[in-house]
Structures are given as C-alpha cells and as structure tokens.
Amino acid sequence: QVTLLEMAGRFIGLAIEHAQMRSARRGTTPMTDSDRALSVLNNALLGLNATLDTDLIMSDLVEQASDLTRGQVCAYLEYLPQSDELVIREVAQNKDHPYPEALGQKFPVGDGRRRAAIEGQVQSLEDLTPDHARGDSIGTLLEHYHVRAMLVMPVIHKETVTRRDKVLGLLTVYAPDQHGLFSPAETMNLMALGHVAASALNNARTYAQLRELDKLKDEFILTASHEFRTPMSAIQGFSWLIQRRYETMSPDQAKHWAGEIMRATEQLKDMMDTLTESWRTKSVQVPELAEVDIATTVQLAMEISSGLLAAENHNVKSEIPADLWVLSEQDRLRHVISNLLVNAAKYSNAGSQITVTAAVKTTTELLAMPRERGVIIDESGEDEPITNVVAGAPGPWVVVSVHDQGMGITAVNQKRLFAKFVRLELTTHVRGTGLGLYICRRYIEAMGGEIWVESAPGQGSTFSFCLRQTNRPAQ
C-alpha cells in the first residue's frame, strides 16, 4: 500500500535520526515526549500490520492511542455507510472505571461535528458540559468518564485505484476534567497512528473479502455442477430411450421425447447464458428490440420450466390477456420469466399455486406502486444508485408478475435480492448459484424496464417487471 510505504519511510527516517541523537547523548538524557511518541508509532507500525484480524487491529489501535495521550480513554467508532451510523467497536478503558456496556452501541452520524469528522475533518472539542452527554449512546460514554475535552480523528484509507479518501471510522480520545489537553504534536501523532491503522484495517478487510470470495467460488462450483446435472440427465435419459426404442417407438413418442430433449437443451442454454453474463462487467448488450407477445412468451417459459414445476406438483396458472405486446427481445424475456417461475417453485411448498399475470399501467400508476428494487453492489462491494427508468419515460407499461405462496421475504433481505451471488440465509437448503435474479435485473434494465419484488414473511412473494407496451407488428 502506498500510504503504508510512505508512513514507513517517515518512521524509519525519524527512528534513525533519533537513534543517532540518543547515541550521541550516550543514554544520559531521559526519554522525551518525542522519543516516547516515536516508540509508540514504531510499535504501531509493526503491531497493527502484523495481523489480519480486524478485532485485534482495533484493540491495538485504541491501546496505542491511549499510550500516545498518556493513558486517556480512547475509542474506535466504525462507520456504517449503509445506515449512516457509528458503532463503538473498541474502548481502551480506564481500569478504575470500566464501561464494557459501551461496546456495540450504535448512534446516527447526524449533522454538525460528527458529519464533519466523517467527511475527513479532525474535530477538537473543549469545555464540554453535561449537556453534550445527552441524546445517544456516545453521550453515555462521555458522561461515564466525565469528559470535558475530546479529539475526534478520522481513520482514512486512500483507495489505490481511485485515490479517493474513504473514512473507515473515527478514533476518539476523551479527557476528563481537563481543557485544551490536545497539543498539535499529539494531534499529529494520532493522525499518523490513524493512517497506519487505516492501512491495516483495509488489508484485513481485503483479506476477509478474498476468503469469502474463495468460499463463494467453491460453493458456486458445487452448486453449478448440481444445477447442470438436471438438464443433462434429461438429455441423456431421453436420448437413451430414443436409441433403444428407435425401431418400435411411435411418432407421438418420438415427438414427445424429442420435445423433452429440446426443453432440457433450452434450460442448459439458459444456465450457460447466466454464467457468461454474470462475469461481464459492462452493461448487457441486447439486439434491437422488437414486438414480443407476452402470452406466447409466458407459455414458452412454462414449457421449458415444466420439468421442475411438475416434479414439485405445482399448479401453474397463466392469466395473461390476449394480444398484449411489449418492446423486448424474446429469448431474454423468456429467460427472465423462466427464472422467476423456477424461483417460485423452489421457494414454495410442493403442490402450491403459482400465478402469472399481466396488466397495463401508466407511468403515474406504476410510480405509485410499492416497488422494492433493492440495491446494486459494484465490484468493490459498494452500493451504487439505481437508475429510475420509469420516471423518465412515457407509458404505457406492461407489468408482468409471478405470484407464489412461498415463505416470503423480509424487508431487509429484499434489498439484496437482485445483487450478484445473493442467497438468503434462511433458504440455504435450496440449491442455487445466486445469479438468477441478478441476471433478470440486468436483462430487464437492458430492455428499458425495471424489476422489483413485493413480499412479506409467511405471505408469499410477487416478482414483477415492466416493459414498454407496443402494438402488434404489422403483417
């Protein structure tokens, strides 16, 4: 890491300079504050980067900060960008007045000095009164230690590729019953400590992400091999029947078995398309959009998914009005509907009802509907904003919905459904790659529409998408 190397260079230079000075004095002079600070920073450079355990790093960080400030109470507050909150992760506690209850407590960033700190500004607060200790969990910490002065230091990591500053959390130092405690030298030393900690925390998080990705890769290979086995077994089985009974089978039997092979082949092709599309980083490129009949496409999707639907004895009902057309690309639209049908079958009890409906909506009506579209997660694991396609385009729209009677999905889980490799923890008994809904979203958005979910635990789920309505093509 560039920041780590820069800090290491400065520390090594200072260490050499101080070693030379102390050698010249032959050890007759007591250790100065500068010597002590350098010793702590050197220990931090070695200790914080000697582990990839984030808990150990945070614990070491607050202990080193306490050493730099002559034993003051220090805490590390991790920033949670998704909820815009801070959580108390570690506290270098005063042994005479421990306060373990503080750990894990959350509080909003809000406005004012906390917001300024999250935006990268060092905050020094003095002459604090008891009024500052009211309102949230950080206030109880201030009140417990009778804090009268406080230094808030952003722990900032500079991203290697984008060179953007990313605030990981806040290093806070509390001084009881003192004013103007924090000198410029202490502030600079804590800032240097924060840079070292940021690099160490980022390395630990990167390592944890790599381990998780490696685990996902192993699970993905196992699951994908299982998923591919189903259509391949069908192709093998019906091909074997045709080969063994070629001379005695009737034309109807041959047509039926060939149809089963064709459906299994289409299912296999969908899986290959899903895998291929999931590894592309650019937007989906679709052929020129054309008029597509919804009822016909739904029927094709039901036929291709019939094997799984029949195996679980699901009752699938299509309630699609006749002569309803959308601007789309039929193969990808059929892929989306097939995937939604398979999902409904997997996460519903055997023998339950699955219904496919379609309705025409204006833009105003569509925007008024409850639509949980989730979040997009980019390659770095950060959330990206979702473009609202409907709001900027005229209608009318055709809304296609797949309703099931499954277990339902919590509001929290709904927000991650359409991201890559997402599988709900409560449904791990159901095999899947975690790519299906992600690909559905990419396909629908590439065709100028949106996809969303409406669900509640125990009440089933409805997955819907909208595409621009069009007229039947001219004969």
219-251, pLDDT tens digit by residue? 667 666 766 776 787 788 888 888 888 888 888
- Torsion-angle region of residue 233: left (phi > 0), alpha (psi -120 to 50) or beta? alpha
High-pLDDT (> 70) share of the chain, %: 69
Report, as an integer, the average pLDDT of 9-38.
Answer: 54
Supply the CATH classification number for the domain 283-470.
3.30.565.10
DSSP 424-471: -GGGTTS---S-HHHHHHHHHHHTT-EEEEEE-TTS-EEEEEEEEEEP
Domain locations in the chain? 2-210, 283-470
Distance CA 242, CA 296 (A): 29
pLDDT winner (highest mean) among 125-134, 163-172, 322-331: 322-331
Q: What pLDDT is stored for residue 317 in this prediction?
A: 92
Of the given ranges (50-54, 99-103, 150-154, 431-435), which has the lowest mean pLDDT? 431-435
How does DSSP classify residue 70?
T
Pairing outcome for strands 325-328 and 73-80: unpaired
Report, as an integer, the average pLDDT of 309-313.
Answer: 76
Q: What pLDDT is stored for residue 28 in this prediction?
A: 47
> What's the chain's length in residues?
475
Report, as an integer, the average pLDDT of 319-333.
Answer: 91
Between residues 449 and 60, the one the model is more confident about: 449
Q: What pLDDT is stored for residue 160 in this prediction?
A: 64
Distance CA 211, CA 206 (A): 9
pLDDT at 384 over 90: no
The pair of three-digit structure tokens given for residue 310, joined into one six-digit string: 């029949």
pLDDT at 293 over 90: yes
Report, as an integer, the average pLDDT of 111-121.
Answer: 85
Report, as an integer, the average pLDDT of 437-462.
Answer: 89
Distance CA 453, CA 451 (A): 7
pLDDT at 17 over 60: no
Token pair 């109880």 is found at: 140
Q: What pLDDT is stored for residue 402 in this prediction?
A: 96
Mean pLDDT estimate for the chain? 77
Strands laid side by side in the 106-108 sheet: 106-108, 85-92, 73-80, 165-176, 147-158, 123-125
DSSP 3-state helix, strand, coil percentages of the chain (rounded to 5)? Answer: 50, 20, 30
Bridge partners, residue 469, by sequence: 326
Of the given ranges (93-102, 131-140, 451-460), which has the lowest mean pLDDT? 131-140
pLDDT at 355 over 70: yes
Spatial CB neighbours of 382, under 8 Å, sequence gap ≥ 6: none
Q: C-alpha distances in angstroms, 358 versus 266, 315, 320, 325, 363?
A: 24, 18, 5, 11, 15
Q: Indicate the pTM of the whole model.
A: 0.55
Query: What CATH architecture applies to the domain 2-210?
Result: 2-Layer Sandwich (3.30)
Of the given ranges (40-54, 146-160, 280-294, 339-353), which has the lowest mean pLDDT? 40-54
pLDDT at 378 over 50: no
Q: Give yes or no on whether 2-210 and 283-470 have one common fold.
A: no
pLDDT at 397 over 60: yes
In this prediction, residue 139 has a pLDDT band, given cuts at 50, 70 and 90, of low
Q: What pLDDT is stored for residue 470 in this prediction?
A: 94
Closest CA to 228 of 66, 432, 369, 447: 432
The pair of three-digit structure tokens given for residue 453, joined into one six-digit string: 């979910």
CA 251 to chain CA centroid, Å, is 53
SS3 label, residue 367: helix
Of the given ranges (223-237, 307-321, 336-350), which has the lowest mean pLDDT? 223-237
The secondary structure element, H or E, covering residue 365 is helix 363-368
Of the given ranges (90-104, 176-190, 231-245, 381-395), which has the lowest mean pLDDT? 381-395
Distance CA 277, CA 228 (A): 16
In this prediction, residue 67 has a pLDDT band, given cuts at 50, 70 and 90, of confident
